[in-house]
Chain A
Amino acid sequence: MDFTDRVAAIVRAEHGRVVAQLIRRLGDIDLAEDAVAEALVTALERWPADGIPPNPGAWLTTTAGNKAIDRIRREGKRDAKHAEATMLDHDEPHEETGPVTDDRLRLVFTCCHPALALENRVALTLRLLGGLTVAEIARAFLVPETTMAQRITRSKQKIKAANIPYRVPREQDLVERLGGVMTVLYLIFNEGYLASTGEGAREDLSSEAIRLTRQLSAMLTSFDLGAPELDGLLALMLLTEARRDARFTDGVLTTLDRQDRSRWDPALIDEGHQLVRRCLAVNRPGPYQIQAAINAVHTNAIDASMTDWSQIVQLYDQLLAQDPNPVVELNRAVAVAELDGPEVALRIVDRLDLVGYHPWHVTRAELLRRMDRHDQSREAYDAALALSENDAERAHLVRRRGSLPG
């Protein structure tokens, strides 16, 4: 890993924690973000000469804190005394103000305030906590970058103007905001599992999402507010994460059916299956639990040919009933292809309005290939390649396209 990559990795790993800590101390999101950005510039200037400090996260926090004080003084937003007072609690233990003690989890709950529209909550959390760029978030949501930039700016303005507190949620807030929080955590996980740009995956985002979900689950259990959907979400993440090592071979994406299953992580699969069984016992299925169950069926099979496709189609039917959306229909069609053949599946796929979604083109390409309609399959791979910006996935698609006969 060269220097720039190492710095980039540090920044990705530390961004959420540093921003969350500064927001708590400064009470000002924009100021915190700007200060962190300035600290990063300083790091890029100094670290090449001085070396990366032993605790880069703490270095970034301190430097960003100093940048913020400078800025407050320079802009005369508040008097210097106020700035110093704000900074005084720097090394003191966090004030105990409620059930959420982790700064990042507190930030999630602040961003997921019900006074913000759901899509704005998710976008803001990905920006502040995940440190994703506006362009990355826009891609994850399939919306133009300008739309996403407006959403994030608007949310930050509302937090400031309406004085939405950056505070630990109370018990009733935990339950009320859980839905939005879960959406956020799952999107962070997904962005880490298959990053929308660049080199394959961003493991730091996935492990952060898993860490936060585990913490949230433990917290709710301790309040006797156990939520099966949260268990389902954790199971879904674990069963997906378990396959991470088998997903890439020499920088090329390997699809589920071709993965070397001995490289799956048995401990994560075990934990995921236990959670799915616990959900089944509670019997209050929701979308995350069903998706976890689908992944449990996949990970139960010793090899791809042993997959119980009829059970998977049934689970997708159940999921569609709860969450009717074209992406779920597309995934169901993949299972239908295994059960009823590619012709039936293609008829389903072709009536879905997902032209801007590259997995739709990939699915069409694979179905057309199996039907020996090679020219059309080639066109579909081209369309998918034009939309995919992940290098490992592109390499996979180029290989698949190249292996078509004729």
Chain B
Amino acid sequence: MTTYLLSVIHPDGVTDEWKPAHLSPEEVEQSFADTGAFNEEIQASGHWVFAGGLEPPSNATVVDNSNGQNAVTDGPFAESKEQLGGFWVIEAADLDEALAIAARGSKACRNPVEVRPFQGVA
């Protein structure tokens, strides 16, 4: 088994309410429902490790103590249009299985999903 991080990317930016810019409110409601069903599905199939949706980037804080002089700044580290909206951590037999799960997750949440293996999980 390999552990994978499935990151949900909002490629076209988000509204101030942290809603995908390309979806209507009804579509957003439907995507929440579909994502909930997807979560239950991967819990039942034993692939689920952990998952979570993130607060908007405006609620992020950057801590930089890399040079030993800690600095705390408001906002996200990267000022980009594409934003990480949430993630799943799953276990799958191989990349093909992970990609198939990611494809269902992407359909459910209406966003692209990046699949990345962990180096190892303690």
Contact = CB atoms under 8 A, between A and B. Distances in A.
A161 B94 contact: no
A165 B94 CA distance: 6
A164 B2 CA distance: 10
A184 B36 CA distance: 42
Interface in B68-122: 93-96, 98-99, 115-117, 119
A143 to B, nearest CB: 26
A115 B95 contact: yes
Interface residues of B, number: 11
A160 to B, nearest CB: 9
Nearest to A164: B95
Contacts of A165: 93-96
A283 interface: no
A167 B96 CA distance: 10
A161 B3 CA distance: 10
Interface string A285-305: 000000000000000000000
A113 B96 CA distance: 9
A6 to B, nearest CB: 40
Contacts of B119: 161
Contacts of B115: 162
A161 B95 CA distance: 10
Interface of A is mostly: loop
A163 interface: yes
A163 B95 CA distance: 5
Of A115, A161, A163, the most chain B CB neighbours within 10 A belong to A163
Interface string A145-167: 00000000000000001111101
Nearest to A115: B95
B99 A163 contact: no
Contacts of A162: 2, 95, 115-117
A163 B92 CA distance: 10
A248 to B, nearest CB: 45
Of B96, B117, B119, the most chain A CB neighbours within 10 A belong to B96
A165 B116 CA distance: 15
B118 to A, nearest CB: 9
A161 B115 CA distance: 12
B96 A161 contact: no
A113 B95 CA distance: 10
Interface in A132-183: 161-165, 167
A113 B94 CA distance: 13
A163 B96 CA distance: 9
Nearest to B96: A165
B43 to A, nearest CB: 22
Nearest to B116: A162
A164 B4 CA distance: 12
A163 B98 CA distance: 10
Nearest to B1: A163
B5 to A, nearest CB: 11
Nearest to B94: A165
Contacts of A113: 95
B99 A115 contact: yes
A155 to B, nearest CB: 13
A180 to B, nearest CB: 15
Contacts of A167: 94, 96
Contacts of B95: 113, 115, 162-165
B99 A161 contact: no
Interface string A250-293: 00000000000000000000000000000000000000000000
A121 to B, nearest CB: 14
A34 to B, nearest CB: 23
Contacts of B94: 163-165, 167
Of A115, A161, A162, the most chain B CB neighbours within 10 A belong to A162
21 contacts: A113-B95, A115-B95, A115-B99, A161-B117, A161-B119, A162-B2, A162-B95, A162-B115, A162-B116, A162-B117, A163-B94, A163-B95, A163-B98, A164-B94, A164-B96, A165-B93, A165-B94, A165-B95, A165-B96, A167-B94, A167-B96
Interface of A: 113, 115, 161-165, 167
Given A161-B119, A162-B117, A163-B98, 17 more contacts: A113-B95, A115-B95, A115-B99, A161-B117, A162-B2, A162-B115, A163-B2, A163-B94, A163-B95, A163-B117, A164-B94, A164-B95, A164-B96, A165-B93, A165-B94, A165-B96, A167-B96
